[in-house]
Structure 1
Amino acid sequence: MKSNLIILFIFIVFLQSCGLNEREKNLQILQKEIAQKEQGLLAWEQRLKLKEEALEHARQSLDSAKMQADSASVYDPAIVGKWIVKMSCIETTCDGSALGDTKTEQWDISYNQKSIVVKAYSGPVLIRVYVGNYRDNQLKVLDERPNVDVSFKAALNFINEKRMDGTREILQANCKIVYALTAEKSK
């Protein structure tokens, strides 16, 4: 009888220890899942912080461009009108973009008080609106609606009443595309 009790006691201790091992494994798995979720939240918080900083930078750039446009823009009726803008990619670090890529847009350039407004069309579709200024024979514009992830800016040198040349930059979080621009005034 005594030996049966000892065997029963050993058997009960063995069963409890098996249950503890299973609980410990479950606890370790749960701890790993919590640690992974914490890492995900930290990464998400970092991305959010970067987007906030980019938005603040874009806001400051737009404010700066607006102040420059208000204080230093020059009125030149020769740049007002419709322009055919041909673009050729000369620099890229973005996937999906290659050197030599080309595109053509129609830009409708006008003044709104002291600021330049450029409406960019692809065919009949308005795709972007730029604002900026014109001085020292140079047109500088930024995308009117700054995007957290992407910013657009262009600078064109006024050659004559029918032609401008310059560059357009597209800045994304991890890459940049630069186009050489040639603008010819429509008839």
Structure 2
Amino acid sequence: MQKTSLYLSAIVIIFLSACGGDNSKSVELDKREAALLEREKQIDSITKDYQVLVRMRDSLSQINTVQLDTIIMNAAWTDSLIGEWESRLVCISTTCRGYVIGDQRTEHWSFLSDSTGLYLEVAGKAKSPKTYLATASANRNELTLKEQDRESASPASLLSFSEISSRQLRGQKRNTGADNCKLVFSVLLTPRSK
């Protein structure tokens, strides 16, 4: 009887240890499953980030194409504008303080271009030169001038030509001044003697 109870005790101990081993295997299997689910979440996140980056790359390549087209369209001045000019500006309309109709200015203008765009450099007698980024209209008779050294909030000037020839350029320059006042100058450009 003692042998039987000893055998039964041994069998019970073996079964209990076997069940305990299965429990640790079950816990280990649950841990692996949880790690696998976490890895799948990470892969989904990486895949979503990749798709966002691909869409961003595609949109940027479209923007670069538009910018390249604009630069190519505006990459050079027409032959009649290239070079250095003496300008005579006469105020013909104003709502700005400090200006009166008939005010005159004489400046030196240079029409420049490089791979980044079109520029107009303006040098007055008493002032340091200003550089304007120029955007030409399709027919090149109108230029929008944006002062390069100022913040983007500064208003642009509009320069329109009514007469373009190798001997002279005539037109108007429209500025918006402080407090949204308006200035209109008649413009006469003649080639600068070298």
Contact 2:91 2:104 in 1 (8 A): yes
Displacement after TM superposition at 1:95 (Å): 1.2
Q: Distance in 2 between matches of 1:144 and 1:68?
A: 21
**Counterpart AA for 2:187:** L
Return the match for 2:134 from 132, 135, 142: 132
Q: Which has the higher contact order (CA 8 A, sep 6+)?
A: 1
CA, structure 1 residues 93+169, in 2 after alignment: closer, same or farther (shift >3 Å)? same
Contact 2:91 2:101 in 1 (8 A): yes
SS of 1:88 mapped into structure 2: strand
CA-based RMSD of the aligned residues comes to 2.8
Residue equivalent to 1:123: 125
Unaligned 5+ residue runs, structure 1?
A: 1-65
Contact 1:69 1:133 in 2 (8 A): no
**Counterpart AA for 2:159:** A
Query: Please, what TM-score do these two structures have when normalized by structure 2?
Result: 0.53
Structure 1 or 2: more strand by fraction: 1
Unaligned 5+ residue runs, structure 2?
A: 1-66
Residue equivalent to 2:190: 184
For these two proteins, the number of residue pairs brought into alignment is 122
Which ranges of 4 or more aligned residues in structure 1 deviate by more than 4 Å?
A: 66-69, 147-150
Displacement after TM superposition at 1:85 (Å): 1.0
CA, structure 1 residues 78+114, in 2 after alignment: closer, same or farther (shift >3 Å)? farther
Deviations 1:58-108 (A, max 9, x none): xxxxxxxx8885253263233221111111111111111101111110011
SS of 1:151 mapped into structure 2: coil
Contact 1:87 1:181 in 2 (8 A): yes
